[in-house]
Chains A and B, each alone.
Chain A
Amino acid sequence: DAGVTQSPTHLIKTRGQHVTLRCSPISGHKSVSWYQQVLGQGPQFIFQYYEKEERGRGNFPDRFSARQFPNYSSELNVNALLLGDSALYLCASSSKTRGTEAFFGQGTRLTVV
């Protein structure tokens, strides 16, 4: 059974550009969460989606947006990239919105130059 898959694994973008990151959750999982992790820090919550609806949002600017599709896969979009957006972006899927373990993908390493 496939785990959480994220694409691409690495990405280099220029300041001001836009980026779309993709995530496919574990089969049967309806909840997808996105996190940003800067080197040496813990993951910072960006969004959670469940059954295609946004269920939670972290303290990130409106340049960050996401959506979940009918097959429960998800996209994270970041507009007007800044150097400070360089980080490992993690997607996690779970069977419920709370109270259960999260299964993470390998992450997308985004570098903004």
Chain B
Amino acid sequence: SQKIEQNSEALNIQEGKTATLTCNYTNYSPAYLQWYRQDPGRGPVFLLLIRENEKEKRKERLKVTFDTTLKQSLFHITASQPADSATYLCALDNAGNNRKLIWGLGTSLAVNP
């Protein structure tokens, strides 16, 4: 069956450390994968998009990797800050005619001062 899985448990880290979040998928062949941040009661906010032919993408303190062999994406936040505390969602393109993004359940990140 098709699945997209993110770290099921909340991640607690100390301010200044690097947070690493995982997104694994099964039985999909996405053309691209996206990461979003979501705060309670708000809509998701786009962070990064990485295509299947890209290994790594960076934006300021954020880095995403995409390994289509392992069927995995890693999302890193370096020099984390308490303001980075939120739920982080990965979404992949379900290549096909349905045009829909498939979303993980999200990983809750708490950065402690």
Q: How far is the CA of A87 from the CA of B44 in the complex (A)?
A: 15
Q: Which residues of A contact B31 (CB under 8 A)?
A: 98-99
B11 within 8 A of A: no
Stretch of A13-21, A64-72, A77-85, A103-111 on the interface side = A103-111
Which residues does chain A contribute within 8 Å of B97, judged by CB atoms?
56
| A106 / chain B contacts, CB cutoff of 8 Å | 42-43
- Does any Cβ of B come within 8 Å of A44's Cβ? yes
Q: Is the CB of B46 within 8 A of A101?
A: yes
**A107 with B43: CB separation less than 8 A:** yes
Interfacial residues, chain B to chain A (CB-CB below 8 A): 31-32, 34, 41-46, 49, 51, 89, 91, 93, 97-106
| A contact residues, range | 20 to 34
Q: A42-B104, A100-B49, A104-B44 are in contact. Are A57 and B98 (CB under 8 A)?
A: yes
A40 in contact (CB, < 8 A): yes
Complex contact A90–B44 (CB within 8 A)? yes
Alpha-carbon distance between A48 and B99 when the two chains are bound, in angstroms: 7
User: B98 and A56: CB pair below 8 A?
Assistant: yes
Task: Determine if A7 is an interface residue (Cβ-Cβ < 8 Å).
Answer: no
Q: Which residue of B lies closest to A102 (CB)?
A: B46
In the bound complex, residues from chain A placing their C-beta under 8 Å from that of B49 are 99-101
- Known pairs A44-B103, A48-B99, A101-B34; list 14 more (Cβ under 8 Å): A33-B100, A42-B91, A42-B104, A43-B101, A45-B98, A56-B97, A56-B99, A97-B99, A99-B32, A100-B49, A102-B46, A102-B101, A103-B46, A106-B43
* Residues on the A chain within 8 Å of B100, using CB: 33, 45, 48, 56, 58
